[in-house]
Structure 1
Amino acid sequence: MSYFDIEGYQPQWLQGRRAITAAHGHRLHALVGRHLDHVWLVWDRDDDEWFADGPVVLDFDGEQVEINHQKFADLSVTWSTVDPTGQATWSNGDDEDPEVHTFHLAWRHDTRAELTALEGKRLQAVELLEWAGRDVAEGMVAVSFVFAEGRVTISNALDENCLEFGAPHPDYRSHPLAGPDWPRSGPDCTRM
Structure 2
Amino acid sequence: MLGIPKYKPQYFSHAIPFLKKNKHFLLHVLDKKISNYYVQWNTEFNEWNADGPIILIIDEIQYEFTAVQLCDYSMTINKIDLSKKLDWYGAGDEMPLIWKESAFNHLNIIQGKTIRNIFLIEYNFVLENSIENEIVNEKDYNLVGIEFEFHETDNCLSLTNGLDCNDINLSRIEESIMYRRIQITQQSL
Alignment TM-score > 0.5, same fold:
yes
Give the deviation of 1:31 after TM superposition. Answer: 0.6
Provide structure 2 residue ranges, at least 5 long, that are not aligned to the other structure.
130-139
The residue that corresponds to 2:180 in the other structure is 173
Q: TM-score, normalised on structure 1?
A: 0.81
The amino acid of 1:140's aligned partner reads: L
- Measure the CA separation in 2 of the matches of 1:91 and 1:62: 26
Cα distance in structure 2, aligned partners of 1:69 and 1:90: 18
Aligned counterpart in structure 2 of residue 62 of structure 1, from 22, 41, 60: 60
Q: How does 1:138-177 map to 2 (within 5 A)?
A: 139-148=142-151, 149=153, 150-170=155-175, 171-177=178-184
- Over residues 17-41 of structure 1, what are the superposed CA-to-partner deviations in whole Å (9 max), with x where a residue is unaligned? 1111111122112110111111110
Q: Larger % of helix: which?
A: 2
Q: How many residues align?
A: 173
1:104 is displaced (CA, Å) by 1.0
After TM superposition, the runs of 4+ consecutive aligned structure 1 residues lying more than 4 A away are none
**1:95–1:154 distance in 2 versus 1, CA, 3 Å:** closer
| Superposed displacement of residue 94, structure 1 | 4.4
Task: Report SS of the residue matched to 1:24.
Answer: helix
Identical amino acids, percent of aligned pairs? 22
Q: 1:120 to 1:114 in 2, by over 3 A?
A: same
Q: Which one of the candidate residues 95, 102, 107 is aligned to 1:103?
A: 95
Cα distance, 1:139 vs structure 2 = 2.0
- Residue type at the aligned position of 2:179: Y
How far apart are residue 141 of structure 1 and its match? 2.7
Q: Secondary structure at the match of 1:67?
A: strand
* Structure 1 SS opposite 2:19: helix
Deviation at 1:58, TM superposition (A): 0.5
Q: For 2:105, give the aligned amino acid.
A: A
Q: Structure 2 length normalisation: TM-score? A: 0.82
**2:128 is the counterpart of 1:135:** yes
Please state whether the residue corresponding to 2:2 is helix, strand or coil. helix
Cα deviation, residue 7, structure 1: 3.3
Residues 75/95 of structure 1: CA separation in 2 closer, same or farther (3 Å cut): closer
